[in-house]
């Protein structure tokens, strides 16, 4: 047995579904020595349709169980829809440090040349006071279009589980991001403000009416994790990751292969049905 001080830190990456895998990838790159637990609250997917009080209650309930079972050293809430509303409640309830993912408005405002920025997110994230405050504080000199997509997170999940989503369906979701003005200015930056969307990035790039810069906040999240936990230890024998699903109805062999390809060799279901209250 290894002495306790050589045990790798445990990092829990949490999302409503598979989107947080895009964040896991970046965090793992930054801290390859850690032990990873990926939790998908798929029993409550999509979070974009839950009211704010429902969502806060749900994430607290699920987190209570995950923290009790797995004692993570740090939790990444790899979900904009949740982070924009539940972080204060989580930090109040648990001593474990939490890192959230929120829309990358600040870098978008710094990058745009045309002053036309779009924020592509779930209907929940675009409706948040938190998101609107970010826009006011960091992008007051830009025109920011808030584009709420009802279907994209579900499309990303479907593709991950081996189904094919038509180009026309994806284009219909991203088209409202592209704004062209009479003075010739066009949207030049789109914030990927749902962690599911980078899973479809190559499709977005191919289908976009004109090239734009797509901002994925995941590398910044990984840097924040390193700030809090320190640089990686020289420990080449980091254990295989574990994926936990609260529902598990979408688990199939294509998805199991995709998870294994992302270092999550084992999958378990911790059944936590979403109750109506
Ligand atoms: N991946 C989540 C996010 O970053 C949202 C998907 C959902 O609606 O559950 O916002």
Predicted pLDDT of residue 2: 45
Q: Is the pLDDT of residue 133 over 70?
A: yes
Topology of the domain comprising 105-216: Rossmann fold (3.40.50)
- Give dist(CA 218, CA 181) in Å, integer: 31
Mean per-residue pLDDT for 113-119? 98
Does residue 23 carry a pLDDT above 70? yes
Give per-residue pLDDT as tens, 220-267.
999 999 999 999 888 666 788 999 999 999 999 999 999 999 999 999
In this prediction, residues 103-131 reach a mean pLDDT of 97
Token look-up 């808030």 returns 146
Taking only the tens place, the pLDDT of each residue in 190-212 is 999 999 999 999 999 999 999 99
What is the reported pLDDT for 236?
Answer: 64
Domain borders along the chain are 4-101+219-269, 105-216
The band of 127, judged by pLDDT with boundaries at 50, 70 and 90, is very high
Angle at 148 between CA 109 and CA 88, to 5 degrees: 75
Residues at the binding site are 15-16, 47-48, 80-81, 195-196
Residue environment code for 138-156, b if the CB has 16+ CB neighbours within 10 A, otherwise e: bbeebbbbbbbbeebbbbb
* pTM above threshold 0.85: yes
Q: Write out pLDDT tens, residues 150-193.
A: 999 999 999 999 999 999 999 999 999 999 999 999 999 999 99
Q: Helix (H, G, I), strand (E, B), or coil: what is residue 196?
A: coil
pLDDT interval class at 1 (50, 70, 90): very low
Q: State the distance from the centre of ligand 1 to the C-alpha of 236, rounded, in angstroms.
A: 32
Q: Is 84 in the pocket of ligand 1 (CB under 6 A)?
A: no
The domain over range 4-101+219-269 is classified in CATH as 3.40.50.11060:
no
For residue 4, pLDDT beyond 70: no
CATH topology identical between 4-101+219-269 and 105-216: yes
| Active-site entry in 79, 142, 177, 191 | 79
| Best residue for ligand 1 mutational test, from 45, 54, 79, 151 (most atoms within 8 Å of Cβ) | 79
Give per-residue pLDDT as tens, 30-82. 999 999 999 999 999 999 889 999 999 999 999 999 999 999 999 999 999 99
Contacts of 18 (CB under 8 A, 6+ apart): 40, 156, 157, 160, 196, 199, 255
Extract the annotated binding site for substrate.
Answer: 15-16, 47-48, 80-81, 195-196
Establish whether 79 is a catalytic residue: yes
Report how far residue 273's alpha carbon sits from residue 53's, in angstroms, rounded to the nearest whole number. Answer: 17
Contacts from 138-141 at CB under 8 Å and sequence distance 24+?
138/105, 138/106, 138/109, 139/105, 139/106, 139/108, 139/109, 141/109, 141/115
Count helices and strands (H / E) in the chain: 11, 10
Residue 276 pLDDT exceeds 70: no
pLDDT at 93 over 80: yes
Structure-token pair, residue 90? 């989580």
């Amino acid at each position: 047995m290894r002495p306790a001080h050589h045990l790798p830190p445990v990092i829990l990456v949490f999302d409503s579904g598979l989107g947080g895998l895009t964040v896991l990838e970046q965090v793992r790159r930054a801290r390859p020595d850690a032990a990873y637990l990926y939790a998908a609250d798929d029993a409550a997917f999509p979070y974009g349709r839950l009211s704010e009080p429902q969502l806060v209650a749900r994430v607290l309930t699920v987190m209570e169980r995950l923290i009790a079972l797995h004692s993570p050293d740090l939790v990444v809430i790899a979900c904009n829809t949740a982070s924009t509303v539940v972080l204060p409640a989580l930090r109040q309830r648990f001593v474990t440090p939490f890192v959230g993912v929120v829309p990358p408005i600040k870098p978008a405002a710094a990058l745009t040349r045309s002053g036309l920025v779009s924020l592509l997110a779930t209907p929940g994230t675009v409706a948040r006071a938190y998101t609107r405050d970010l826009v006011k504080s960091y992008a007051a000199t830009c025109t920011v279009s808030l584009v709420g997509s009802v279907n994209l997170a579900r499309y990303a999940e479907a593709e991950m589980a081996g189904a094919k989503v038509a180009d026309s369906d994806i284009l219909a979701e991203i088209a409202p991001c592209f704004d062209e003005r009479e003075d010739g200015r066009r949207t030049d930056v789109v914030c990927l403000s749902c962690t599911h969307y980078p899973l479809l990035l190559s499709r977005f790039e191919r289908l976009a009416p004109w090239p734009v810069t797509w901002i994925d906040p995941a590398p910044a999240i990984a840097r924040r994790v390193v700030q809090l936990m320190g640089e990686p230890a020289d420990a080449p024998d980091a254990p295989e990751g574990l994926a936990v699903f609260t529902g598990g109805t979408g688990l199939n062999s294509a998805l199991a292969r995709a998870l294994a390809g992302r270092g999550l060799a084992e999958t378990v279901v911790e059944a936590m049905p979403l109750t109506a209250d």
